[in-house]
Structure 1
Amino acid sequence: MTLDSSKATARAIAEALASAPFEQVVDLARQYAGDPRKQVQASCERALRRHARETAERERVRAMYELMDELGGPGVVVGVDEVGRGSIAGPLTVCAVQLPAEPVVWGVNDSKQLTPARREELAERIAEVALGIGICHIPPERIDEVGMAHALREAVAGAVSDLGLQPDRVLMDGNPLGAVPNEVDVVHGDAKVACIAAASIVAKVTRDHLMVSLDAAYPGYHLAECKGYGSPEHIAAIRAHGLTPIHRVSFCGNFLEDSCR
């Protein structure tokens, strides 16, 4: 909303600048630039700094979409990422996501770079716009049986299968796995490629929700807080109470030898 600078209060102008859509901020700041009031000048400067940060952020996200297009080429392109590989309890979770070129999911990034609240917001947005989302959980007993490398290949294949389509390219974070045909591996791909970043976010949020529910089933192990990783509180609880069916026995030998035999 445009206000008459000669009649509007400095506070009203500040609120208008703060709430203006990204596309209107620069024009509004220019409109109020001639206002001699210090409060208005400060509001214009803040708005322009915020706009510059948002411009840089949008350029970062656009670059992630451009790399997705470059690496994926024509056809069906899917991004894949995992969470829970280093956990001592709970599943290994892999997500596969097919994103359209538009609309862009602004803010998409490596899930580790985002706050829990921001991950939740982005996971909802990804679910709204994604052309497909596949999830696969590999339970602890399977990880113990076959080892992490094999479990990871199973999880990737399962997540892609859960999409219900045959992708022409599968863009994956990390080093080569050979889990699916047409695999393209990108080191630090969750910070570089839009669909891989989206997969990292959905995988993290999905598994975190599961670990919170497991915390209710197995109280005292701090699963809602540590998400199954080896926090001091989690390890102390295992030493005090022993392992549960959701613990990876093969991961516990370093700190609970007697319980892991």
Structure 2
Amino acid sequence: MTIREIAERFANVTDVSDPLFVQFDGDHRIGVQKIIKKTLKRLKEENERQHEFFNRFKYEKELWHKGIKYVAGVDEVGRGPLAGPVVAGAAILPSDFDLVDVNDSKQLSDEKRRELVPLIQKEAIAYSCIPISSQIIDEINIYEATRVAMKRAVYKLDPQPSHIIVDAMTITNDIPQTRLIKGDAKSVSVAAASILAKVFRDDLMDEYAVQYPRYGFEHNAGYGTKQHLLALAKYGPTPIHRKTFSPVLKTIHH
């Protein structure tokens, strides 16, 4: 067999006990040995990712084990930007959920997040995303606005969850909650919610970028980048800017 043919066969190997390893172990061609080494490395990495994925289901599994069927992960995106809404996402996942790549949205590329969104939506039992506008953020403060967004995102789920896993906050409702610091890295449900919320918010900011082209919202998502701050100083705030946030507040008083 040619090295290329061998490479094609090893590309489909999913287990270290595959007989191909024994078959080609005695083949001393450098190219073949490289293929074997590369395949073993790939399988090790896949195995580690699978193991980490199962670990991120720890909290959900404990709750399912107690007979709690519907567990919702809840997360928010956009607390820090100077413009645009804060968005909360919520997701109830089934016990056979198998999207290994679902992890803390900050660790994933934009391309990967966008690839995962329709897959999460397809597999989830229920999901929702709720934006809370900059006007409301200015009225009630960002912390309270985030809590309102989370509460509404949970309320929108059908079926309603019997337990909520929340990233770093508590929601004011009667549903029992587990509060996790860095929850999006510890719980698959929270990670799924964070990915949905992140893409939802990025899409909104892309729309605002067309409406207000001077601020670079399609690149900065409303965060205070250099370009954004310069535009803010030059042109002043837009209707979607958070007027109570320090850099924006300064431009209003000038």
Q: What range describes the TM-score normalised by the shorter chain of this pair?
A: over 0.9
Q: Residue type matched to 1:10 in 2?
A: I
The answer to whether the aligner puts 1:29 opposite 2:32 as a matched pair is no
Structure 1 stretches lacking a partner, 5+ long: 1-7
Specify which of 41, 46, 51 is matched with residue 54 of structure 1. Answer: 46
1:29–1:47 Cα contact (<8 Å) kept: no
Specify which of 167, 170, 174 is matched with residue 161 of structure 2. Answer: 167
SS in 2 for 1:170: strand
Bigger shift: residues 129-138 or 100-109: 100-109
Q: Distance in 2 between matches of 1:68 and 1:116?
A: 26
Residues 138-161 of structure 1 deviation map (CA, whole Å, 9 limit, x = unaligned): 000000011112111110111011
TM-score, normalised to structure 2, is 0.93
2:85–2:133 Cα contact (<8 Å) kept: yes
- Corresponding residue number in structure 1 for 2:6: 13
- Corresponding residue number in structure 1 for 2:137: 143
1:30 is displaced (CA, Å) by 3.2
1:76 is displaced (CA, Å) by 1.2
1:204 is displaced (CA, Å) by 0.6
TM-score, normalised to structure 1, is 0.90
Q: Distance in 2 between matches of 1:79 and 1:193?
A: 8
Q: Distance in 2 between matches of 1:95 and 1:40?
A: 47
Q: Distance in 2 between matches of 1:161 and 1:234?
A: 35
1:79–1:196 Cα contact (<8 Å) kept: yes
Q: Give the count of matched residue pairs.
A: 252
Structure 2 stretches lacking a partner, 5+ long: none
- Corresponding residue number in structure 1 for 2:89: 95
- Corresponding residue number in structure 1 for 2:224: 230
1:26–1:51 Cα contact (<8 Å) kept: no
Task: Provide closer, same or farther for how the CA distance between residues 189 and 113 of structure 1 changes in structure 2, counting only shifts above 3 A.
Answer: same
Percent sequence identity over matched residues? Answer: 36
1:66 is displaced (CA, Å) by 2.9
- Corresponding residue number in structure 2 for 1:65: 57
Specify which of 70, 76, 85 is matched with residue 82 of structure 1. Answer: 76
2:232–2:251 Cα contact (<8 Å) kept: no
- Corresponding residue number in structure 2 for 1:3: none
Q: Distance in 2 between matches of 1:165 and 1:260?
A: 47
The answer to whether the aligner puts 1:259 opposite 2:217 as a matched pair is no
SS in 2 for 1:250: coil
- Corresponding residue number in structure 2 for 1:42: 34
1:17–1:25 Cα contact (<8 Å) kept: no
RMSD of the alignment, in Å?
Answer: 1.8
